[in-house]
Amino acid sequence: MTAAEIKTIDAYIAAQPEALQGVLQQVRDVIRRAIPNAAEAISYKIPAFRVAGRVAIFFAGWTSHYSVYPVTPRIASQLGDKLAAYPTSKGTVRFPLDQPVPEALITEIAILLSRDAESRAVAAKAKRAARAKA
C-alpha cells in the first residue's frame, strides 16, 4: 500500500512492519484514552487526532523509533524534565522501540496539545467574529 492510499489510522498501522504495529496501536490507544473527544485522521500522511477541528497531535513509526508531534517549546517547558530521557528536535519527541511505551508521558502530551488546539480554535473564532463586526 502506498502512502497515498492510506486513509485511516488502521491502514497506516497495517502498512508498518509487524514489529512496529503493536507499539503504534498502543500509542494510538493511549492518545484515544487521553483525548476521547478527538477525531482520528491522516494528515501529512501520518496518524493525527483532531480537536475542535484542528490537529492536536500526530504520531508516526520509523525504523528504530516512533515519534509524537508537535511538542512545541511551550509544551516542552510545561513537561520539564519528563522529556530529558528522549531525543527531541523541531517539535518532535522520539521514543525508542526497544523501551516500553511511556503511557503517562504520552497521555500528558496529548492532553496539553488537545488544550492547545481548543485554545487556538477559540482564538480563531474570536478573530473571525471581530473581523465580521469590523
Region 106-115 average pLDDT: 97
Question: In sequence order, what are the beta bridge partners of 43?
Answer: 46
For 46: left if phi > 0, alpha if psi spans -120 to 50, otherwise beta; the answer is beta
Check residue 92 and give its pLDDT: 94
Residue 3 has pLDDT above 70, yes or no: no
pTM here is 0.89
- pLDDT, tens digit, 9 for 90 and up, residues 58-99: 999 999 999 999 999 989 999 989 999 999 988 999 999 999
So what's the pLDDT on residue 2? Answer: 62
Helix, strand or coil, per DSSP, at residue 95: strand
If one counts the domains in the chain, the total is: 1
128 versus 8: the higher-pLDDT residue is: 8
Q: What is the CATH number of the domain that holds 108?
A: 3.90.1150.200
Residue 48's domain comprises 3-133
Q: What pLDDT, in 10s, does the model give residues 10-43?
A: 999 999 999 899 999 999 999 999 999 999 999 9
Q: How far apart are CA 56 and CA 43, in angstroms?
A: 11
